[in-house]
Amino acid sequence: MRVLIKAVTAGLALLVLTVTGLLAMVLVDHAAEATEVSGGGGGALRGVPEEFRPWILKAAEECGEPELTPALLAAQLYQESKFKTSREEATSYAGAEGPAQFMPGTWATWGRDADGNGEASPWDIGDAVMAQGRMMCSLVRQARSSGHPGDVRALALAGYNAGWGRVEQFGGVPPRSFANGQTYHYVRTILSTMKRFEGPGLLQVEGSGSGADALRKAAGRLGTPYAYGGGGPRGPSLGFCEPGAGYRNGTCVADDTVGFDCSSLVQYAYWPGLKLPRTAAAQYGATSDRAVSHQNLEPGDLLFWSHGGSGAIYHVALYAGDGNVLHAPRTGKTVEVVALTDAMPGADYYGATRP
C-alpha cells in the first residue's frame, strides 16, 4: 500500500480566553517569553492536536479578517490551556472553563452549539473554538475602528484578556504596571509564539491502516517542542533532566518544557490501538521480530539509531514516505519532518521494524 503525503498549506489553530473584567488563566511558556515578538502570516498550520485543527481553520475562515490567522488562534489557545480539555486540567482558579477558558458570563454571550450535539458547552472543542473565533473576530474589528495606536492583533488580544474597557482606559494595550503585567505579557507571548504554529504545515496522509493512522496522528504534533522525558499516550507533558539529557547550554530546560521526546511521540502515535512501551530500546524489543528492509519501508514504520547493538538504541522515528522521517529530534528542536539521511548520524542507523 502506498501512502501519499503532501504538505497542507492552510490552517492554524486557536486558543481562547477567560474574560470577566480582567482575569484569565494564563499558562506562561517561559521559552516563548524569551522569544522576540514577530509578525505572523496566515496559511500553514502545525503543532496543533488533530481534534482542534478543523475548528481552528473554520473559525479563521468564517471571520475573514486577515489579522485573525489560524496561527494566532492556535497560539492564543496554547497560552490559555495548552489544548487541554479535561475538567481537572482546564478549569482555572478564576472559574474559567474548557480549552478556550471562558468564564460563564462571557460564554453566555459567545457560546453556540457549533458541533451540533444538542448542547452549547465550553468543554466541547468545536463549541469553544468557534466561540473564541467569534469573540476575537469582533475584537479585531473593534480594534481597527477604535483609532488606538498599535498592532490590531495586540489590541484584540488585550481586549480578550482584560476586557475592552481596559483597552479604552489605557488607549491601547495595558502597560506592564497593570495587573502585575498579566495582560502585557499575555499579548507579547501569544504574538511571539505564533511562528511555532505556522507552516510548513501538517502532513496530509492519504491511506488507511495502523501505520498511516499513526503517522497522521503524529503529524498533528508537528512543531511541538522536544522535552526529554516528556509526553506519553495522552499527549505532550513536562519533561525532566538527568545527567547529559534535557540541558541546553548548561541549563536544564526539559523540566520547563511541555513536549515529546522521540519515543513518547511514537508511543502517542500508535496508542491506543497498539500500546508500545515507553523507551526507544523497548520499542525496538517489542517489534524487532518484524524487521523491514530499507527498500520496503512504508509510512508509519519505526526506524532506530544505536551507539552499538540493540542494547544501545538511543533514537526512534516514524517513516514518513519519500525518504523522510517524522521525529522529535533533541532538546532545543521541535517535532519535524526531515530526510532520513539527515535525522541522525548515518553510521548509527540500526534498522527498521513494522509495529
- Specify the CATH number for the domain of residue 287: 3.90.1720.10
- CATH code, domain carrying 40: 1.10.530.10
3-state secondary structure of 89: coil
Specify the pLDDT at position 44.
Answer: 55
Residue 22 has pLDDT above 50, yes or no: no
Residue 14 has pLDDT above 60, yes or no: no
Lowest mean pLDDT among 11-20, 62-71, 242-251, 257-266: 11-20
Element (H, E) at 31: helix 30-33
Task: Render pLDDT for 101-141 as a digit per residue (tens, 0 to 9).
Answer: 999 999 999 999 999 999 999 999 999 999 999 999 999 99
Average pLDDT, the chain: 86
Rounded CA separation 31/261 (Å): 17
Kindly state whether residues 147 and 251 are assigned to the same domain: no
Kindly state whether residues 36 and 58 are assigned to the same domain: yes
Total domains in the chain come to 2
Residue 219 covered by a domain = yes
> Is cis: bond before 149, omega within 30 of 0?
no
pLDDT band for 345, please (50, 70, 90 cuts).
very high
Kindly state whether residues 187 and 221 are assigned to the same domain: no
Its domain, for residue 224, covers 207-353
Residue 273 covered by a domain = yes
3-state secondary structure of 254: helix
Task: Render pLDDT for 170-221 as a digit per residue (tens, 0 to 9).
Answer: 999 999 999 999 999 999 999 999 988 886 555 678 778 999 999 999 988 8
Residue 202 covered by a domain = no
pLDDT band for 47, please (50, 70, 90 cuts).
confident
3-state secondary structure of 139: helix
Specify the pLDDT at position 242.
Answer: 96
Specify the pLDDT at position 3.
Answer: 44
Task: Give every strand in the sheet of 324-327, ordered side by side.
Answer: 291-292, 349-353, 302-306, 313-321, 324-327, 336-339
Contact call for residues 208 and 214 (beta carbons, < 8 A): no
What mean pLDDT do residues 284-294 have?
97
Q: Are strands 291-292 and 258-259 parallel, antiparallel or unpaired?
A: unpaired
Specify the pLDDT at position 54.
Answer: 87
Amino acid at 10: A
Kindly state whether residues 49 and 105 are assigned to the same domain: yes
Specify the pLDDT at position 320.
Answer: 93
Residue 32 has pLDDT above 70, yes or no: no
What mean pLDDT do residues 63-92 have?
92
- Residue 30's CB: how many other CB atoms inside 10 A? 10
Specify the pLDDT at position 222.
Answer: 84
Rounded CA separation 77/110 (Å): 16
Kindly state whether residues 96 and 235 are assigned to the same domain: no
Rounded CA separation 267/280 (Å): 9
Question: The cell 529530534 sits on which residue?
Answer: 329
Of the three residues 174, 197, 220, the one that is the final residue of a domain is: 197
